[in-house]
Amino acid sequence: MLVLGFPVGPLQANCYVLARGEGEPCVVVDPGQDAVPPLADRLREHRLTPAAVLLTHGHFDHVFSAGAVCAEHDIAAHIHPADRFMLTDPGAALGPAGRQLFGDALVMDAPSEVRELADGDVLELAGLRFDVTHTPGHTSGSVLFGVGTEEGGRLLLSGDTLFAGAIGRTDLPGGDHGRMLKSLSTKVLPLDDDTVVLPGHGPTTTIGRERAGNPFLQGLPTSDALS
C-alpha cells in the first residue's frame, strides 16, 4: 500500500494520498491551502489517478483545494453533512476574529459534486475500504477514516480529532468540548494500540502511544460518564 503525506498551506495541514500501489487509482484526503502543486507532483511521480476526495472536516485549511482537485479529475468530494456548509462559506466556522485574520484568503471554489458521509459508512474507493466514524467535537461534522493495509496493519486518518500529544481545539463555532471527550472515549480509545494515526497536523503516531502519553487522554471520563 502506498501512503503519501505532506503539509500544505500556512497552517501546515496534512494532505494524504492513499493507493494500492504505484500506477493505481488513489484517494486524496484533506487537500487544503496550496495543495494543488505538491499534490500534482506526487501524482505524476507515482503515476496515480485520483478517484475521490475525502474530507475529515470542513475547516478551510483542510478543504481549500478540494474544489480544484475535484474539477481537474472529475471526481466527488465526501464530507459529513454537518460540515458541508463550510465548502461554500469557509469563514462561518472561524468566527469574527478568524474572518478578520484570513480575509480574502477564505475565497475558494466548492466541489461541484459532494457526497455526504454518515457514521458507519463503508466506502470502497480506489481498491481500498474506508470505514467512516463520526466524531463530533472539533467540528460538528468531524469524521475519522479507518483503512486496512494489505500487510494487515490499520491506519486511522484522524483529521483534527487527535494529534500526536494533543487533540483538536473546540473553541471555534461548532466545536464542543463535551462532545470531543465523548468521541475520544467511545470512538478513539477503543481502537487497537497498533493502529497508526495519520493526523491533520503534525507527525504520525499510534493509538497506543497516545493512550499512554497524550495528556488530553489521561483520566478521560468513561463512555458511561459521558452518556
Residue 225 is predicted with a pLDDT of: 39
pTM for this entry: 0.93
- Measured CA to CA, the distance from residue 83 to residue 93 in angstroms comes to 9
C-beta separation of 184 from 137 below 8 A: yes
Task: Answer positive or negative: Cα dihedral of 108, 117, 170, 95.
Answer: positive
Residue 38 is predicted with a pLDDT of: 98
Residue 3: Cβ-neighbour burial (10 angstroms; 0-12, 13-18, 19+): middle
Residue 60: Cβ-neighbour burial (10 angstroms; 0-12, 13-18, 19+): buried
Residue 99 is predicted with a pLDDT of: 65
Residue 5 is predicted with a pLDDT of: 98
Name every residue whose Cβ is closer than 8 Å to that of residue 160 and which is 6 or more positions away in sequence: 56, 57, 59, 62, 138, 139, 142, 168, 169, 199, 200, 201
Query: Closest by alpha carbon to 30, among 176, 187, 144?
Result: 144
C-beta separation of 83 from 139 below 8 A: yes
C-beta separation of 144 from 132 below 8 A: yes
CB atoms within 10 A of CB 124: 8
12: helix, coil or strand?
A: coil
Q: Identify the H or E element spanning 77.
A: strand 77-79
Q: Which three cell numbers stand for residue 213?
A: 502519553
pLDDT (tens, 9 = 90+) of the chain, 227 residues, equals: 999 999 999 999 999 999 999 999 999 999 999 999 999 999 999 999 999 999 999 999 999 999 999 999 999 999 999 999 999 988 777 777 666 666 656 778 899 999 999 999 999 999 999 999 999 999 999 999 999 987 778 999 999 999 999 999 999 989 999 999 999 999 999 999 999 999 999 999 999 999 999 999 988 865 543 43
Name every residue whose Cβ is closer than 8 Å to that of residue 215 and which is 6 or more positions away in sequence: 165
- Measured CA to CA, the distance from residue 160 to residue 25 in angstroms comes to 26
One-letter amino acid at 79 equals: I
